[in-house]
Chain A
């Protein structure tokens, strides 16, 4: 199975700041990486797929980059609603696997 390692585990930031979350695959997954946001009481939300394609309805302050084994989710000008948990997931090969998660907290 492809192991997905996210960093950092925790991230504290203030509204208006920009942050980056990293995701590393144990082998090449080409461009096939997705990012999700998880918040209590809300359905998990797909942000990015295919490494850098923004899901419909997701604000343009979210962006994804990378290929092969190293990927990054960048959130520019943080809004209050952006705080929560973020997961990466490879969709290159079965079984689909997720990273351990990054908690983005308000500083």
Chain B
């Protein structure tokens, strides 16, 4: 079958670093993406990994290990505005047939 697993909730303190893990099981793997969604808002794209390794975009980094079917999103210097849900998604057979995880709700405390 096809599935993605990520923690349902994570709590962290402002200024800290948090890592959100995502493990996946799918045929025809075609990249791992991360999206942020604030309550009542639309998902917004954060990052994409097609190959193993770390991709860095400002305070956010994303990592992929295809051999372990595993990736993570790393958020540094957490800010209150980072409180949101974060979804990992994998492309199945193409980067356009996407399967999303059920999301991780991040709460950043002062």
Query: Do A and B associate with each other?
Result: no
Interface residue ranges, B against A (CB under 8 Å): none
